[in-house]
Structure 1
């Protein structure tokens, strides 16, 4: 062993050997640090993915897919065994987290997200096979189940009655919908002259208005204010709120606009000449009442009145027996001699003959024959032809059946024997005792 300061002769040269104490100390310290580490066992981190996402999603909403991966740089996410391009090679952040949003009704979205059912979602770390179906030899690194649920529609009117020149609000909740369509139908049907609920109807018909209302993506709520013109026809309007289904079209048509769906299904019908009820039947027939439909719809009623005073007002009508005359009376602030049409409509389309009357001294009156009318509830409408109407109801009831007379037959009463009193019993007992004594003496 060479000692420090020792003289060494090598290859004809004489050298004095010195040790570098600093270098030796450095090597010693490194060895002291590495030896314990080198003796530790190597631990392999298992690949795993933990999902963090909702347990249910409304069809039509966005699906949030998120979670944490224990290792790796990317994950492939499969929905019901299929990896779509939007879910291929999803990058992990520095903490191993991933998050992605999928539109459940987009064209790229799997069909399994568009039906009400449980859906399996799997994750594969650093998968190299790309887009497509997961192979039978591939095992996922984590999975979860979510439930796809059908959306709904809730509609509320701020009021059931509104005056001309006033406003009302339609609001509610529509989970699963991005946009709603709102129609109002005048009491006069498709053609209401200048007396629709507003002048700019959004359709080719003065009696039908059309609007679109957006639905919030965060809480599914919606709200829209509607203004009623000062010339709106008074009476009861239908307010129809619709939402097409997850296929993006109404009923069995290929139209996402309800007016277009009606035109396609019924070959461009002339709504202008149709009644309020007829138009409503076509709207529902092209949407929710179609044989193949997942559309949503709500129908509300809104009464539009003239403010301050009524140009036409009906008096209350008492029940009328079928066969007797139905008398309708009312008042009007229209000028003397103005014409008012009175209609009476009953169950299953029953209608009495309409009558036109004239205003006399601020009043009007009409009579109707009910000999062949059906029993039931009837709606009476007074219409001045200028957008002012009023409604009343009357019940046609059957002829009262006379109650049968009850004859009371008198019956002879049989006298009931009197019950002997205590004194009588005592006297009889005494007589029996005397008779007994007399018999013994004999």
Structure 2
């Protein structure tokens, strides 16, 4: 690159090259634009045989001359930065970028060159990179905008940039203060269990945790250890801990163990960050205990301790989050359990304040013992499902046991499997019907429902003409009629059908308006089929979910959408229904 015979400014020169016919030249351009470099070989005779331009410079080859050209586009030298738009004070970030040419890049911060950013070496890809720790670098410790300027091959030297120096690229970065987010794994915890404090602390390398008992600094340490001398002469029950902050995702986490016999109640939990400078308060205390040593902490309430922490962090970049954790006596509690029929799954659920993942043993004992289950706690709840296939009907005792002496029990009925001759009644109100004519001697209300505990409620029947009326004990229970009966508990009623064959199917006179009807078959059927006899008259059909004590969605005649209102939705045995008819009509049964 130093073979040029002329180091001055020129647009041409003549030169004899070595015998190896190879030579390298360096060309310096003082302006941007497109340029053509032409080389003319004078040939074997060593004489230029071509033509000259108007200024007497060889222009084109001739005779045994030969020539070649190359086009060059000259662009301004430039640096492109690749930096984040925002950087958090107290964290690290990287200043990097790419230069179009050169060997070094110098980066100035707000027109000042610091030693670590002076003459950064460009790699083979013309790229440079430098990690900056804003916690210690003086140029990145104040929130606001900072401008980075890059200079290619600037002479070495730190200090201010001269006004005459022109940068080759610049970028702006917004510096922001750190942030602190903290949360508890749960708002409550049982004695002897543990919980977790976690969160994100931007701009900090660690956080401190302060936990104050419900009774203040004179209460029990949350972890069950003895009170300690936090500061000289100050023996308190204040729990102190710290947690490091991850450099990449800025997360932190700390597991706190709760003692077996600690005070119950709400513990004050304060998570503190010393900010980007790593120091507490305006005074710049190196640690939180050092800061607390300036205060009297003995016999202080939670509110007074909180006020002290607020005073320590005032007028500084320190951050804090206030939380509360309720410590309780351990408990397990079973939810009410609905009766099930033999063969149906028995679902047992409950709540507890034992820690996440804690094991609970659930047992079901009665005429036989169902296979015990061990279940784990998920968000304060547990769930066990028992197979009742082949289990004898009867009353069973369900028990939940945490293994530490905390239990809860309740009872559940496993009812006989429902057959075409049995009717299940749920606790509270039931809208029922019988599918067929009942046999003489077991067909009136006293004989069919006499064993049901109705808690003093009458059995009701609705007549469109006269309205509601209570049935008499001696009244016949008839098919195609809907009855309302209250049961104090889940139970099963058994039916005996009249099998005499010389009998016509039942019919029922309906009147314009709402009528309480029954379903006259022992297997489900589509409403549109079951109500064929009143196809032109019925409009709406509404059932009642006795298990949930709510009405079901209305079935609408001629609705063929396939949704909940579709006319082909099923009607079920033993259930009563409200039907609205637009005219007087006669409903016919679909079985005998």
Instruction: Give the TM-score normalised by the residue count of structure 2.
Output: 0.43
| Contact 2:145–2:172 (8 Å) recurs in 1 | yes
Pair 1:307-2:334 in alignment: no
- Unaligned runs of 5+ residues in structure 2 are 1-20, 22-42, 49-60, 333-592
2:302 aligns with one of 273, 276, 282: 276
Shift of 1:42: 6.2
Pair 1:248-2:249 in alignment: no
Alignment of 1:138-149 (within 5 A): 138-149=165-176
Pair 1:170-2:197 in alignment: yes
1:124 aligns with one of 145, 151, 162: 151
CA distance in 2, matches of 1:308, 1:69: 67
The CA RMSD over aligned residues, in Å, is 2.5
CA distance in 1, matches of 2:221, 2:151: 64
1:219 aligns with one of 242, 249, 255: 249
CA distance in 1, matches of 2:221, 2:201: 31
Deviations 1:281-308 (A, max 9, x none): 1111111xx2x22211111011111224
Task: Flag the 1:256–1:297 CA change in 2: closer, same or farther, 3 A.
Answer: same
CA distance in 2, matches of 1:143, 1:298: 38
CA distance in 2, matches of 1:71, 1:189: 67
Whichever structure has more helix as a proportion of its residues is 1
Match of 2:489 in 1: none
Match of 1:181 in 2: 208
CA distance in 2, matches of 1:305, 1:269: 31
Match of 2:320 in 1: 297
Shift of 1:40: 4.0
CA distance in 1, matches of 2:227, 2:110: 46
| Contact 1:201–1:210 (8 Å) recurs in 2 | no
| Contact 1:183–1:208 (8 Å) recurs in 2 | yes
CA distance in 2, matches of 1:159, 1:246: 29
Alignment of 1:53-202 (within 5 A): 53-106=83-136, 108-110=137-139, 113-192=140-219, 195-199=221-225
Shift of 1:198: 3.3
Alignment of 1:258-277 (within 5 A): 258-263=288-293, 268-277=294-303
Count of residues in correspondence between the two structures = 269
Deviations 1:102-147 (A, max 9, x none): 01120x331xx22221211011111114111111111101111111
Partner SS for 1:303 = strand
Q: Which has the higher contact order (CA 8 A, sep 6+)?
A: 1
Task: Flag the 1:47–1:101 CA change in 2: closer, same or farther, 3 A.
Answer: same
Partner SS for 2:195 = strand
Task: Flag the 1:209–1:43 CA change in 2: closer, same or farther, 3 A.
Answer: same
Task: Flag the 1:168–1:196 CA change in 2: closer, same or farther, 3 A.
Answer: closer
Instruction: Give the TM-score normalised by the residue count of structure 1.
Output: 0.57
Partner SS for 1:286 = helix
Match of 2:554 in 1: none
Task: Flag the 1:236–1:120 CA change in 2: closer, same or farther, 3 A.
Answer: same
CA distance in 1, matches of 2:228, 2:184: 21
Deviations 1:152-187 (A, max 9, x none): 111111111111110101111222222111110112
CA distance in 2, matches of 1:195, 1:173: 26
| Contact 2:78–2:168 (8 Å) recurs in 1 | yes
Partner SS for 1:199 = coil
| Contact 2:118–2:156 (8 Å) recurs in 1 | no
CA distance in 2, matches of 1:201, 1:221: 30
Task: Flag the 1:234–1:36 CA change in 2: closer, same or farther, 3 A.
Answer: farther
| Contact 1:78–1:84 (8 Å) recurs in 2 | yes
2:78 aligns with one of 22, 45, 48: 48
Match of 1:388 in 2: none
